[in-house]
Amino acid sequence: MTKDQKDNLFVLVKSLSKSEKRQFKLYVGRLGVNEDSKFLMLFNILEKLPNYDEATILRNGIVKKQQLSNLKAHLYKQILISLRLNPSHQNLRIQIREQLDFATILYHKGLYKQSLKILDKAKTLAIANEEKNIAYEIIELEKIIESQYITRSISNRADELTIQAKELNRQNLLASKLSNLSLQLYGLFLKTGYVKNDEEYKRVTKYFNDRLPKYDINELGFREKLWLYKSYLWYSFLIQDFLSCYKYSKKWVDLFYANQDMIKLNPVFFLRGNQYLLEALFFVRHHDKFKRALSDFESITQEKWFPKDDNVESLTFLYIYTNKFNLHFMEGTFYEGLPLVKEVLEGIKKHETRIDAHHIMVFYYKIASLYFGIGENKKAIEFLDKIISNKSLQMREDLLCFSRILNLVAHYEAGLDYNLDALIRSTYKFLIKMEDLYEVQKEMIKFLRGLGDIYPHEIKKEFIKLLEKFKEFENHPYEKRAFLYLDVISWLESKIENKSVNLIIREKFQLQNSKK
């Protein structure tokens, strides 16, 4: 990431839309602050700067260096307050929390009855919209007020509040255990990746079962079901059971469609559910379902009622374009996918402060794969180099591994063999440092390492040998996923049959569809 993006205040100012900037200036005006106010002057300077430059700020003479930090903190707080007041950011969760704040103020003024009236309405709204943590906070305040001010409006008020508190506490505890499990499984996935053998499968399964709380599906609300499906989904990903991934991601998405108001309240969870659904369908190669799910997903995000904010727009771009690439990879329509490259590069530029570097590299890998599929190997190398040369990036090892292997193959295909031996050596050194390589990766390394010793007239025979080895892994429970990153089998078949990679994949796709 560039230096200007590291200053939080500068990033916040640059993220503001025109309407949000106008709202902030109106908010400052309502405060009765002088137009020469230092924090407003700082805002105007930052708004115009192309990059964060402390020296330029100090040259304006509005503040001394030792005071700049405090002024920046004050401006940051005022911008957040302004954004909170902006109607576009007023979702139901903020409204409920605001009602709780109002009730607290009334309570401290001794206006107990007014406070209880607001709390009762806020609690009803919170429970109806699965905001059970806030609902529990509201009940706790109700209990405090009732213990000091007896309304006598309901004779069994104490019992009612106690029962509500116990039930919400039970539900919150279950949701907390399930959300913890989901997060732990995700952490395990980032640490160890997918299981690669039966021993790892047993260890992960025991880890999951030991931490899965007891539950009755009929007693679960929306929130508890969501965390349950997420937990099962991550477990299924870890053990590479992609049909099960499809099952639980579908339950996740269907849960939102059955509770459509929750899409407005939790758009990020809805987007992620669709991303996992599409990823699972891509892994199991269900083309028709994938195409329909992608079309439905794109359509609903374009609906007028669908929530719109910077985060939602960035995630929508990320998930839709990732899967548009995947659709072309499934169909073998690599040429037809080329217009996506320009759209994605423009999208990355637009959303770069909100999309993490790892996902940008995933886009580069997909672009490289697209160019490799149509034989534009030098273009493929150009995008692979963006990944390989990024030394500061923390990425999943499998993506780094396949980027280097594809880079080697692309160099070989492009005839750039003047430094192929050095490239093979550096790739080999990188890969042997990795723990628990897939057998597919090991065989590919072995083959590439021996390329220099193969006579040109024998190369086709060696391709056939390697293809036979890979065919053994194509349906292996722990090895098959490697081919989703790099379709080595189609590449080998293209060399043997003297056809382009995209044509081989296209023919396979058409043959598969003709059998349905």
Q: Are residues 106 and 81 in the same domain?
A: no
Structure confidence at residue 36 (pLDDT): 59
The answer on pLDDT for 35 being more than 60 is: no
Chain segment 141-179, per-residue pLDDT in tens: 998 888 776 555 555 777 888 888 998 999 999 999 999
The answer on pLDDT for 380 being more than 90 is: yes
How far, CA to CA in Å, does 221 sit from each of 216, 255, 513?
Answer: 11, 10, 40
Q: At what angle do helices 397-414 and 357-373 cross, to 10 degrees?
A: 30
Beta strands per DSSP E along 188-240:
none
Q: Are residues 144 and 68 in the same domain?
A: no
Q: Is residue 219 part of a domain?
A: no
Handedness of CA 439, 387, 375, 333 (dihedral sign): positive
DSSP per residue, 28-86: HHHTT--TT-HHHHHHHHHHH-SS--HHHHHHTTSS-HHHHHHHHHHHHHHHHHHHHHS
Q: Are residues 126 and 11 in the same domain?
A: no
Q: Are residues 134 and 13 in the same domain?
A: no
Cα–chain center distance at 106: 41
Q: Which of 153, 178, 202 is the last residue of a domain?
A: 153
Q: Which of 54, 89, 124 is the last residue of a domain?
A: 89
Chain segment 491-514, per-residue pLDDT in tens: 888 888 888 888 888 888 887 776
Q: Is residue 396 part of a domain?
A: yes
Which tokens is 175 given? Answer: 């949701």
Q: Is residue 362 part of a domain?
A: no
- Which among 47, 36, 37 is positioned nearest to 9, based on CA atoms? 47
* Highest-pLDDT range among 336-345, 399-408, 469-478: 336-345
Q: Is residue 231 part of a domain?
A: no
Q: Is residue 369 part of a domain?
A: no
Chain segment 218-264, per-residue pLDDT in tens: 989 999 999 999 999 999 999 989 999 999 999 999 999 999 989 98
- Which among 363, 258, 275, 360 is positioned nearest to 320, based on CA atoms? 275
The answer on pLDDT for 59 being more than 70 is: yes
Q: For the chain, how many structural domains are there in total?
A: 3
Q: Are residues 29 and 124 in the same domain?
A: no
Q: Is residue 49 part of a domain?
A: yes
Structure confidence at residue 103 (pLDDT): 93
Q: Are residues 427 and 510 in the same domain?
A: yes
Which secondary structure element, helix H or strand E, spans residue 141, and what is its range?
Answer: helix 132-148
pLDDT confidence bin for 88, thresholds 50/70/90: low
Percent of the chain with pLDDT over 90: 42
Q: Show the domain range for 397.
A: 389-516
Q: Is residue 474 part of a domain?
A: yes
Structure confidence at residue 515 (pLDDT): 65
Q: Are residues 11 and 35 in the same domain?
A: yes
How far, CA to CA in Å, does 466 sit from each of 214, 377, 439, 445?
Answer: 48, 22, 12, 11
Distance CA 120, CA 112 (A): 12
